[in-house]
């Protein structure tokens, strides 16, 4: 059965303090790993797709990386506006839909 585990559950950072969020996954044939950002009271917003181990994607202060067992979302010099819940999801072979993790709630303190 597909499984996605995100850690930590919550993370508090000072503004400018870089860190990483982890997404460990088990899936029968990875077709894609996806990162989303969700602000309170809103729907998730798509950030990145990673298809194969070794792949990296960047957007502003965020960089996502992928290995055969996990993905990291690196946040460099975060700002308060980066505060949100970050969700990881996988799409397995033959699946019609994503399997989501429970997310990491990031708070960046000015």
Would you tell me which residues interact with other proteins (CB under 8 A)? 4, 31-32, 34, 36, 41-46, 49, 87, 89, 91, 94-102
Residue 89 vs 108, nearer CB to other proteins: 89
Q: Which is nearer to other proteins, 3 or 18 (CB)?
A: 3
Compute the least distance from the CB of residue 40 to other proteins, in Å.
Answer: 11
Name which of 14 and 97 has its Cβ closer to other proteins.
97
DSSP bridge partners of 13: 108
Q: Is the peptide bond before 8 cis (omega within 30 degrees of 0)?
A: yes
Structure-token match 């809103």, residue found: 42
CA angle 49, 86, 5 (to 5 degrees): 85
Closest CB 14 distance from other proteins, rounded Å: 26
CB of 106 to other proteins, least distance (A): 16
Minimum CB–partner distance for residue 42 and other proteins (Å): 5
The residue behind tokens 């077709």 is 31
Residue 6 buriedness (CB in 10 A; 0-12 / 13-18 / 19+)? buried
Instruction: Output 43 or 110, the one with its CB closest to other proteins.
Output: 43
Q: How many CA atoms lie within 13 A of 59 on its CB side?
A: 11
């Amino acid at each position: 059965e597909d499984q996605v585990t995100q850690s930590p559950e919550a993370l508090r950072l000072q503004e400018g303090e870089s860190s990483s969020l982890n997404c460990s996954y088990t899936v029968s044939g990875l077709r894609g790993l996806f990162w989303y950002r969700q602000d309170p009271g809103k729907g998730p917003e798509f950030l990145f797709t990673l298809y194969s181990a070794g792949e990296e994607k960047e957007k502003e202060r965020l960089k996502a990386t992928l290995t055969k067992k996990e993905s990291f979302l690196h946040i460099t010099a975060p700002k308060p506006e980066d505060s949100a819940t970050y969700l990881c999801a996988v799409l397995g072979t033959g699946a019609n839909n994503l399997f989501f993790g429970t997310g990491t709630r990031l708070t960046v303190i000015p």
